[in-house]
Amino acid sequence: MKHIAELTVRSYECDSYNHVNNAVYLNYLEFARMEFLHACGFDYKGIIKAGYYLYVTHIDIYYKASAVLDDKLFIEVKPVKLKNISGEFSQKIYKEDGTVCAEATVTWACVSSVTGRPAKLPEEFFVESLLPEKN
């Protein structure tokens, strides 16, 4: 499943050059991943209540173009890998005109809140949308 979240750049997200600050893009990516999980019916609150967390373990991000105040941005989320305890999303942030602002690969892992160690994603929280699309 591919999901696209939308937002508009706010003034407090811009730096002294009037561009979106590079660290803010990480917030945009997080926002879109949570939107993806909600859209595919993943029970995020339930997995926490069951004693598991989903941690981001690694992000590779490539900045390609600047976004500025009031730009409408689209953040695409697409699962590209799924293993027993981890997965990977491909994400792209782009403007209305199609200009790509950033591309990222985000790796996540399921972790037991009791032991703090990696744990298999419990079957009851598995949703088909976490599977990468077959080409």
DSSP code of 41?
T
**Residue 61, Cα to own-chain centre: how many angstroms?**
12
Cβ(36)–Cβ(30) below 8 Å: no
The DSSP H or E segment spanning 33 is: helix 24-39
Q: Is 70 among the catalytic positions?
A: no
DSSP strand E in 1-135: where?
A: 3-8, 52-63, 72-82, 86-95, 100-112
- Do β-strands 3-8 and 86-95 pair in parallel, antiparallel, or remain unpaired? unpaired
- Do β-strands 86-95 and 72-82 pair in parallel, antiparallel, or remain unpaired? antiparallel
Among 15, 43, 70, 71, the active-site one is 15
Which residue is listed with tokens 């003034």?
11
Question: Which residues are annotated as catalytic?
Answer: 15
